[in-house]
Amino acid sequence: MKLIGLTGGAGSGKSTVSAMLRELGAVIVDADEAAHAAYEPGSPGFDAVVLEFGPEYARDGRIDRAGLGELVFHDPDARSRLNAIVHPLVRDWMAAGTAEAIEAGAEVVVQDVPLLFENGLEHLYSTVLLVYVPEDFQLKRLVEGRGLTEDRARAMIAAQMPIEEKRKLAAHVIDNSDTRGATRRQVERIWKELLAT
C-alpha cells in the first residue's frame, strides 16, 4: 500500500485533482472533510467549540463556520485555541479513514492535506503531489470562483507557505493553470509512475 500526500495552495484546484485521482482508483482521505466532521452536532468537537467560544458560534444546531472563521482569521490566539481542539480530531479521523482503506485492500491511499508542508508532515508519505498554479491564478480563482474580496484572498494566500516554496519541496508537481484536459494528462502520467514504483 502506498500512502501519498496531496497538497496545494488556496485556489490551486486541489479538489479537481483529488477527484481525478479517485476516478483512477485512489482512496482519498480528505482533511477538509475531517475538519467538517470534527464540528458535527453531538460530537466532542462541537461541544468543545461551543464551550471555548460560546453559544453564539452555534446556529440552528450547527457550528457557525463562517462566524468562527471570521473570528480566527483576525485573532491568532483564537486560531490557536481552535486548532488545539480541531487538529487532534482531524488527525484521528484521517488515521481511522486510512486504516479503514488499508483493511479494505486499497493499493493507494491519498491524504488530501492543505497545510501539509506548513505542518511538516511530508515525512509521513512515500511521496507528495503538489497542485500548482502561480499566485496570480490563486488570487483570481479565490476572488472570481469563491467570491472572496481581494483583501481576504490575499490574506488567505499570505497565511500559507508561498506556492513557489511548496513547488521546490514536492516530489511531483501538477500544473493546474491550463485546461482541465492538460491537468488530467499530468495526473494520469504521475498515477502510472506511482503504480510502477
Rg (CA), the chain: 17
- Mean pLDDT across the chain: 93
Nearest alpha-carbon partner for 30 in 41, 14, 10: 14
- The residue written with cell numbers 514504483 in the block is 197
pLDDT digits (tens, 9 = 90+) for 4-46: 999 999 999 999 999 999 999 999 999 989 988 988 998 999 9
Residue 173 has pLDDT above 90, yes or no: yes
Which three three-digit cell numbers place residue 74?
A: 483576525
The hierarchical CATH code for the domain 1-26+107-197 is 3.40.50.300
pLDDT digits (tens, 9 = 90+) for 127-167: 999 999 999 999 999 999 888 889 888 988 988 999 999 99
- What does residue 8 show for φ and ψ, rounded to 5 degrees? -175, -165
Query: Long-range contact list for 141-150, CB < 8 A, 24+ apart?
Result: 141/11, 141/12, 141/13, 142/10, 142/11, 145/11, 146/11
For CATH 3.40.50.300, the residue range(s) in the chain are 1-26+107-197
pLDDT of amino acid 2: 92
- What does residue 6 show for φ and ψ, rounded to 5 degrees? -120, 130
Strands 62-63 and 58-59: antiparallel
Q: Which residues contact 27 (CB under 8 A, 6 or more apart)?
A: 101, 104, 106, 108, 109, 110
What is the C-alpha to C-alpha distance for residues 197 and 193, in angstroms, rounded to an integer? 6
Q: Which residues contact 69 (CB under 8 A, 6 or more apart)?
A: none
